[in-house]
């Protein structure tokens, strides 16, 4: 029987698990607060930002919602980030990507105070993650780690294949899986667009994490019986009736062989959102110097 790993349910448990900590912090005068900065006209980005605000509101996390015209000079964005860095009531800062061409994304990531970098993309936080001393684990790979734990998947000693080497998913995912820590201790192979014979790698894996952004590219033929398959991909594809969301995994053929699989939607997506709340609460706890009990 293939287990369908229910990301919605696990994410809901994590949100519920944060409620006590949020209350404790709020009672102590530190209401966790996430600030978002949106500087593009992309409707999808606006939707992502509004979902983040909704998620925060539901658990009692305060929000700041800053929108800048895409034509705004980069200096103004940096000033905005500086203000948020200096604001003691703000614990997490998230600058929604993509940014307009005249803004250097790397400079933006460096500008955010690492202590408020709840995405975990500041070079200091990337370094800490790699060194095994993470302050914030990036939300998507952290969510995958939580999903694997919730499904009782043993990572220690497992052969894991991560398909994708992006800075936001593939690389931090591989880093988390190799850490000498709970949810790590796997032997990790990182595959990418130049990998020779991807199927040979995935067939030898106990765990496959697909994060390539290529619709349904991991097929049943590429998977061995009993593999755990985590589908990070979110791809909108045209259908006869309009469009639909599919992952990087060909769900039907892979589910026939996998021991456990995440659906799209309803797998990794809800976890990414939940882990942003998690990081924001962690940040507020650090600022308040209160040892919060994180789920
Ligand atoms: P990206 O485009 O930055 O990186 C894709 C990676 O996949 C690259 O490293 C590339 O080398 C590799 N790749 C591309 N084609 C390949 C192929 N044919 N074979 C092997 N490797 C290949 O994408 P990303 O930001 O890492 O996102 C990956 C996917 O995950 C996208 O579908 C994205 O929408 C989705 N995503 C989902 C969540 C979530 O919350 N579920 C979060 C972030 C990203």
The answer for residues whose C-beta is within 8 angstroms of residue 112's C-beta and 6 or more apart is 81, 85, 93, 95, 122
CA distance 95 to 105: 10
Residue 71 lies in a domain: yes
Of residues 55, 119, 231, 250, which has the active-site annotation? 119
Residue 260 lies in a domain: yes
Residue ending a domain, choose from 46, 81, 114: 114
Asked if 104 and 158 sit in the same domain, the reply is: no
Asked if 194 and 236 sit in the same domain, the reply is: yes
Residue 209 β-bridge partners:
162, 230
Is the bond leading into 265 cis (omega within 30 degrees of zero)?
A: yes
User: Residues enclosing ligand 1, CB less than 6 A?
Assistant: 140, 163-166, 168-170, 191-193, 195, 198, 211-214, 217, 232-235, 268-269, 272
* 52 classed as catalytic: yes
Question: How far, in Å, are 5, 70, 134, 151, 266 from residue 8 at the CA level?
Answer: 9, 33, 25, 13, 5
CATH of the domain at 54: 3.40.50.10860
Asked if 94 and 174 sit in the same domain, the reply is: no
Residue 70 lies in a domain: yes
Q: Which domain holds residue 47?
A: 27-114
The answer for residues whose C-beta is within 8 angstroms of residue 69's C-beta and 6 or more apart is 39
What's the gap in Å between 194 CA and the centre of ligand 1?
14
Q: What is the pLDDT along the chain (295 residues), one digit of tens a residue?
A: 899 999 999 999 999 999 999 999 999 999 999 999 999 999 999 999 999 999 999 999 999 999 999 999 999 999 999 999 999 999 999 999 999 999 999 999 999 999 999 999 999 999 999 999 999 999 999 999 999 999 999 999 999 999 999 999 999 999 999 999 999 999 999 999 999 999 999 999 999 999 999 999 999 999 999 999 999 999 999 999 999 999 999 999 999 999 999 999 999 999 999 999 999 999 999 999 999 999 9
Residue ending a domain, choose from 97, 114, 131: 114
Residue 127 lies in a domain: no
Number of structural domains in the chain: 2
CATH of the domain at 220: 3.40.50.720
pTM: 0.97
Asked if 90 and 185 sit in the same domain, the reply is: no
Residue 52 lies in a domain: yes
CA distance 191 to 164: 6
Q: Which of 234, 247, 266 to mutate to test the pocket of ligand 1 (most atoms within 8 A of CB)?
A: 234
Residue 100 lies in a domain: yes
């Amino acid at each position: 029987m293939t287990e369908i790993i229910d990301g919605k349910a696990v994410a809901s448990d994590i949100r519920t698990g944060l409620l006590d900590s949020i209350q404790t912090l709020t009672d102590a005068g530190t209401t966790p607060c996430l600030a978002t900065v949106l500087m593009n006209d992309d409707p999808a980005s606006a939707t992502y930002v509004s979902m983040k605000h909704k998620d925060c509101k539901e658990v009692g996390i305060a929000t700041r919602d800053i929108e800048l015209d895409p034509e705004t000079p980069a200096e103004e964005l940096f000033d905005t980030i500086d203000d948020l860095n200096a604001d003691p009531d703000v614990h997490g800062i998230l600058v929604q990507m993509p940014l307009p061409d005249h803004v250097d994304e790397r400079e933006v990531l460096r500008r955010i105070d690492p202590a408020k970098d709840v995405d975990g993309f500041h070079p200091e936080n990337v370094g800490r993650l790699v060194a095994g001393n993470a302050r914030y684990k990036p939300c998507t790979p952290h969510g995958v780690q939580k999903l694997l734990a919730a499904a009782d998947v043993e990572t220690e000693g497992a052969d894991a294949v991560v398909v994708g080497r992006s800075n936001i998913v593939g690389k931090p995912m591989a880093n988390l899986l190799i850490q000498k820590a709970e949810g790590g201790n796997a032997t990790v192979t990182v595959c990418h667009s130049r990998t020779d014979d991807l199927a040979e790698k995935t067939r030898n894996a106990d765990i496959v994490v697909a994060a390539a952004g290529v619709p349904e590219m991991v097929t049943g033929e590429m998977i061995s019986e009993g593999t755990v398959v985590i589908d990070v991909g979110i791809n909108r594809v045209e259908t006869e009736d309009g469009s639909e969301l599919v992952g990087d995994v060909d769900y039907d053929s892979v589910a026939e062989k996998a021991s456990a699989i995440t659906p799209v939607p309803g797998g990794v997506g809800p976890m990414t959102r939940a882990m942003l709340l998690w990081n924001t609460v962690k940040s507020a706890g650090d600022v308040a110097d209160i040892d919060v009990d994180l789920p």
